[in-house]
Amino acid sequence: MELKFVFYIGASAEVVWNSFVSPEGTKANFFGCIIDSTFEPGSPYKYVGPGSDGDETVHVYGKVLVFEPNKVFSCTEHPGPSYNPNHAELESRITITLETVGNTTKLTLVNDQWTDNHPSFSNTSESWPMILSNIKTYSETGKTLDFGW
């Protein structure tokens, strides 16, 4: 099982990158969450924000595999503890690659290596296009999309 998305964004790789890793970018694009990590390969990370466990809900967490600023971010991913009692057994890999193409940035996101019968696959296949569309809009305009939530 693999999810793959490609977007072309009218912004520099640095601006797009910051949408994924800066507190301001993640809060705007990931439903009010911030990413907590040192970003060293092998180190843990977690997306934390408002949710069923209050303002410090861990939505997803995992381990940083590759971190090359403005180029590649790859990590394992587990659903947060409040989403599934066997969250530690459920895993996938996310790889975000940025390439400069003319005056745009080509963003490729691959979400693969899903454990068998991972219950989040269906929801994730619907949420990534929303998140990536939001990142495109935010990177180009500084504004986020209004999904009516």
At 68, which CATH number? 3.30.530.20
With a cut of 80, say whether residue 63 has pLDDT above it. Answer: yes
Tens-place pLDDT, residues 88-120:
999 999 999 999 999 999 999 999 999 998 998
Residue 11 within any structural domain of the chain: yes
Residue 148 within any structural domain of the chain: no
Percent with pLDDT over 90 in the chain: 72
Q: In what order do the strands lie in the sheet with 54-68?
A: 3-9, 104-112, 92-101, 72-79, 54-68, 44-51, 34-37
Question: pLDDT grade, residue 149 (50/70/90)?
Answer: low
Residue 83 within any structural domain of the chain: yes
Burial of 95 from C-beta contacts in 10 A (0-12 / 13-18 / 19+)? middle
Residue 48 within any structural domain of the chain: yes
Q: Are 64 and 45 in contact (CB under 8 A)?
A: yes
The domain in which residue 72 lies consists of 3-141
Q: Which residue has the higher pLDDT, 78 or 57?
A: 78
Residue 147 within any structural domain of the chain: no
Residue 26 within any structural domain of the chain: yes
Across the chain, mean pLDDT equals 93
Residue 132 within any structural domain of the chain: yes
Q: Which residue has the higher pLDDT, 149 or 72?
A: 72
Residue 60 within any structural domain of the chain: yes
pTM of the full structure: 0.92
How many folded domains does the chain comprise?
Answer: 1
Give, in order, the Cα–Cα distances in Å from 138 to each of 10, 80, 108.
10, 26, 17
Tens-place pLDDT, residues 30-52:
888 889 999 999 999 999 988 78
